[in-house]
Structures are given as C-alpha cells and as structure tokens.
C-alpha cells in the first residue's frame, strides 16, 4: 500500500486548514524497495547510529572533517581521507597541505583542505554549542563554519548523535523528486526551499514510522544497492 503523506503548505495563508491539506503518495515500487532495504539493513543502520553518540574530540573532529568533504564528493572517498589522517597520526595536527595530500578523489580538495583545517580549530567553540536546541545549533554551524550549509550541518549533527533533522542530500532529493514530493529543483535548494522540503521529509518519516536519521540512510542504501555505508 502506498504511504499517504499529509503536509501543510503555508504559501497561501488565506486558505482554510482543510484546503491547505494536500495528500501525497509514494510510488508503490519505490516504497516497496525502500521498506525492504530498511528491513534488510536495520542492524547496520542502528549500529552506525549507536556509535555516533560520541562527544570525544576524536569523534567530533573526524565527523566534522568528514562531512565537510562530502559536498559533490562521495562519502567513501571522504571517509578514506579521515582514515589516512588517523593512520598517519595527523588528525589533530595536519596542516592544509598535509590534509590535501590525504584527500584522494575528493572534488575541490584544495579549497576543502582549507575548510577542514579551519574547522578543526573551531572544535572547542563547536563543543560549547552542543547543548543548543537542534535548530539553533544548525543555524550556528551554518553561520560560523565555512563550507557548511543546512545539509552538511544536519549531516554532521546526525553523525555525532543529534537527531531529528533532515539531511537532504542528492540521494534524498532524487528520491523525493521521483515521488513528486520535492519542492524545487534537485541540487538547487536555497535555504527557504530546504526548510520547506525538510518539513515534507520529516512528515514522510513520521508516516512510515521510521526515524528521520534512519530514513535518510535507508534511502541512501536503496540507491547504493551494495549494503555499504560510510556515514
């Protein structure tokens, strides 16, 4: 059975509540694949999230530097960078040149190596903000960490155990577009459009009874098809 999604559109405030309710549905085959993937890989998904709730300097630094690489690059190559830095004992000390040398296959690696180096120096400030409400924390990260927008901020937060936001990466956007849920163009969501689509995604998660931090991973793994997940 297709999942019927109800969300509120606030573009026309003069409409009645009933008129603002719009029913959306998932394509039956898309829904079937997604739910089968989620069931198959639930141990992997929950296992990743169980270890994510770690506030050590090493974990926060690793995930911050990982997430900052993932814009227009694969999670696999970004994770490999972090592994190389750790293997060389350089996670906390590498200069931009050393970071860049470890970023094999990462797009825009020269610019991103500067972002990673600067962000690593902000870890003490970031840790001081972790008690903020999640929406405020995300806004702080977007405003203060260079190279970080709402999607990367949500990604980083999820990877350190702060849940309840949407990570609208290209896989999720494509999924939403295929199911006529996306408002806007894939890969071209401004902050207003991101917020609008986040509401739809969170409503979808509620409808499917899958936590949003798990639904994002399930969508990614459905598209990937290999059962591999790098964060």
Contact present, 26 and 35 (Cβ < 8 Å): no
Q: What is the three-class DSSP state of 7? A: strand
Phi and psi based region of residue 13 (left: phi greater than 0; alpha: psi -120 to 50; beta: remaining): alpha
Q: Looking at residue 2, what DSSP letter applies?
A: P
**Which residues participate in catalysis according to the annotation?**
151, 169
Who contacts 106 (Cβ-Cβ below 8 Å, separation ≥6)?
69, 73, 77, 78, 81, 112
Contact present, 118 and 146 (Cβ < 8 Å): yes
Q: What is the three-class DSSP state of 32? A: helix
């Amino acid at each position: 059975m297709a999942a019927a999604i109800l969300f509120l559109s606030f573009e026309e405030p003069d409409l009645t509540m009933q008129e603002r309710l719009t029913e959306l549905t998932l394509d039956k085959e898309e829904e079937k694949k997604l739910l089968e993937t989620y069931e198959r890989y639930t141990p992997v998904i929950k296992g990743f999230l169980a270890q994510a709730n770690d506030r050590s300097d090493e974990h926060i630094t690793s995930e911050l530097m990982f997430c900052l690489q993932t814009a227009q690059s694969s999670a696999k190559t970004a994770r490999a960078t972090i592994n190389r830095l750790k293997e060389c004992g350089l996670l906390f000390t590498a200069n931009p040149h050393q970071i860049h040398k470890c970023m094999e296959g990462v797009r825009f690696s020269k610019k991103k190596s500067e972002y990673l180096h600067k962000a690593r120096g902000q870890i003490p400030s970031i840790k001081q903000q972790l008690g903020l409400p999640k929406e405020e924390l995300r806004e702080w990260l977007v405003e203060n960490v260079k190279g970080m927008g709402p999607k990367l901020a949500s990604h980083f937060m999820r990877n350190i155990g702060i849940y309840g936001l949407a990570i609208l990466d290209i896989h999720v956007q494509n999924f939403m577009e295929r199911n006529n849920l996306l408002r806007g163009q894939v890969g071209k969501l401004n902050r207003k459009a991101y917020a609008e689509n986040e509401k739809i995604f969170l409503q979808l998660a509620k409808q499917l009874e899958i936590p949003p931090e798990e639904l994002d991973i399930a969508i990614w793994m459905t598209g990937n098809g290999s059962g591999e997940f790098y964060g």
